[in-house]
């Protein structure tokens, strides 16, 4: 195994862990904590997801650099493109909509429930599956 593959494996599984811990554990649980209002939960969520997405961009750039070196099998490189594409869609198309809604709520106004969250969760699922598949392909 070359160093590029070893680094890619580590990054892939760290990224999966971050998405699972934050998106599928922390995000829904924070709204069940005592005295956490919608405004507080949204404020915390914005900070946490901004940090997560910043780290994800960094991880995907490192993985892209490793892919560019040609050190990874093509099938793993293709699999790694899936979570990178899902992240791009989240950042370009989904997050701005979620931010507009959360801005309204944080300003103390009422806003209708957002179906956009389901799109975001769907893309988180796509990222997780893509990373898992890429990780398995990198290990084989």
Residue range of the domain that includes 113: 3-139
**H or E stretch including 23?**
none
C-alpha dihedral sign at 107, 28, 93, 44: positive
Tell me the three state secondary structure of residue 70: coil
Confidence of residue 73 (pLDDT cuts 50, 70, 90): very high
Q: Which residues does 78 contact at the CB level (< 8 Å), separation at least 6? A: none
Among candidate residues 98, 60, 101, the one with its CA nearest the CA of residue 82: 60
Q: For the chain, how far is it from start to end, CA to CA, in angstroms?
A: 10
Quick check: 83 and 60 in contact, CB under 8 A?
Answer: yes
Write down the pLDDT at residue 72. Answer: 93
- pLDDT above 90 covers a percentage of the chain that reads 79
Backbone angles phi, psi at 28, to 5 degrees: -70, -30
pLDDT tens for residues 87-128?
Answer: 999 999 999 999 998 899 888 888 888 899 999 999 999 999
Query: For 12-17, what is the mean pLDDT?
Result: 98
Question: Across all residues in the chain, what is the average pLDDT?
Answer: 94
What's the CA gap between 34 and 94, in Å, rounded? 29
Counted domains in the chain: 1
Question: What is the model's pLDDT at position 110?
Answer: 84
């Amino acid at each position: 195994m070359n160093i590029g593959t070893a680094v890619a494996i580590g990054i892939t599984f760290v990224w999966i862990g971050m998405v699972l811990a934050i998106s599928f554990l922390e995000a829904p649980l924070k709204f069940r904590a005592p005295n956490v209002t919608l405004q507080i939960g949204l404020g915390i969520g914005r900070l946490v997801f901004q940090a997560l997405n910043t780290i994800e961009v960094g991880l995907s750039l490192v993985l892209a650099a490793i892919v560019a070196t040609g050190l990874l099998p093509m099938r793993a490189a293709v699999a790694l493109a899936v979570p990178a594409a899902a992240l791009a869609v989240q950042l370009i198309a989904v997050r701005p909509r979620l931010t507009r809604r959360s801005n309204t709520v944080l300003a103390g106004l009422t806003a209708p429930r957002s179906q956009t969250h389901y799109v975001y969760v769907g893309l988180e699922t796509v990222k997780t599956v893509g990373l898992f598949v890429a990780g398995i392909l990198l290990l084989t």
